[in-house]
Amino acid sequence: MTTEQPRVLLVGAGAVGQVFAHYLRAAGCAVTFFVKPKYAAEAQKGFALYELKIRERAPAPRPLSGVGVLTSEREVQKTRWDQVWLCMSSTALRAGDWVKKLAASTGDATWVMLQPAIDDREWLSQWVPPERLLTGMIPFLAFQAPLTPGDALAGPGTAFWMPPLTKGLLSGTRERLWPVLSALRAGGYPAQEDPDVTRAASVPSAVLCALMLGLETQGWSFERLLQPEPLARTLGAAREAARIAEWATGASSASVQALLKPFVLKSALAVATRLAPVDLEAFFRAHFTKVSDQTRLMARTYIDMGRGATLDTRQLQALLPQDAPRAPR
């Protein structure tokens, strides 16, 4: 890192953007949000962040204020940016031509992508040279609190939980990666280098995608999902998605496949719901309703890839709603 404050442009000031703004500011970075005009006033006012911890109720809010706010590429062009972070869904990433315009307005900046769709990196490489593009995996849960009316856990504001021992993996060329890793670590974020995050995240993301489609078919109820028949269908779809991710990236799915058993999922959910300082059922409902177009796009991509590779996709198809979009090219 240079002695100058790194200038970081965070695209999207939703749950993830706010959490990264919090860590990057703690590291002394000069952080600016690039938001849609409809969010400019809210972002200028600032946000209240609540960091949740196991066995700690009602944390005090941490104000996130004084962050710069820009809404147009013309304004962006006036500054020399060190980093551009993409803090929106895979579907929002591909909506319109804003990535192309922003890439043309941000010079030689390092870009950090956090999107979960398996081909997002390849898509982005059309506009951002691969040597300038870092890939990250998000290890925390962040959401608009309260999740349910009357929930006194946190809020109003954005609550987040960094589960203990989790790592925020990042990959990319050394020269581009190190300034970002150092800044995140200086801000207290558990950043860790990984040789290839697209590969490392591919199987877990595929499994999560299938589990969330299954949970959605059961009205976001863990109890209903854990009934024998929906659970068998959902785990079958998760096994298919994991095999497709393995085929696409070369990551092994063996250890994850071994865990895709009814009693393992039931036990994992029982432990997680007991430990997590957040109502996980309510979180999954709120978050995966918000990003439902992204989950559908991801599932559609697995199905298309699976068919191309003559892998079984029948159980995934059975869970995917008919209206699911394909990823724009």
Ligand X SMILES: NC(=O)c1ccc[n+]([C@@H]2O[C@H](COP(=O)([O-])OP(=O)(O)OC[C@H]3O[C@@H](n4cnc5c(N)ncnc54)[C@H](OP(=O)(O)O)[C@@H]3O)[C@@H](O)[C@H]2O)c1
Under the rule (CB under 6 A), what is the footprint of ligand X? 11-12, 14-17, 34-36, 39, 87-90, 92, 98, 114-116, 138, 141-143, 287, 290-291, 294
Q: Is 253 exposed, middle or buried (0-12, 13-18, 19+ CB in 10 A)?
A: buried
DSSP state for residue 56 in the 8-state scheme? B
* Nearer to ligand X among residue 115 and residue 249 (C-beta): 115
Smallest distance from ligand X to CB 109, Å = 16
CB-based contacts of 290, cutoff 8 Å, min separation 6: none
* Nearer to ligand X among residue 98 and residue 127 (C-beta): 98
Amino acid at 64: L
Smallest distance from ligand X to CB 317, Å = 22
Smallest distance from ligand X to CB 229, Å = 28
Smallest distance from ligand X to CB 35, Å = 5
Smallest distance from ligand X to CB 263, Å = 26
* Nearer to ligand X among residue 197 and residue 231 (C-beta): 197
What three-state secondary structure class fits 251?
Answer: coil
* Nearer to ligand X among residue 43 and residue 319 (C-beta): 43
Going by their DSSP bridges, the two strands 133-136 and 168-171 should be labelled as: antiparallel
* Nearer to ligand X among residue 35 and residue 242 (C-beta): 35
**What gap in Å lies between CA 292 and CA 298, rounded to an integer?**
10
Q: Which residue has the closest beta carbon to ligand X?
A: 14
Smallest distance from ligand X to CB 310, Å = 29
Contact 233, 267 (CB under 8 A): no
* Nearer to ligand X among residue 116 and residue 157 (C-beta): 116
Among 281, 277, 275, 273, CA closest to 57: 277
Let me know the angle formed at the C-alpha of 24 by 38 and 172, rounded to the nearest 5 degrees.
Answer: 100
The H or E element spanning position 293 is: helix 292-308
* Nearer to ligand X among residue 14 and residue 61 (C-beta): 14
What three-state secondary structure class fits 53?
Answer: strand
The number of helices, as runs of H, and strands, as runs of E, in the chain is: 15, 12
Contact 151, 279 (CB under 8 A): yes
Smallest distance from ligand X to CB 108, Å = 21
DSSP state for residue 62 in the 8-state scheme? E
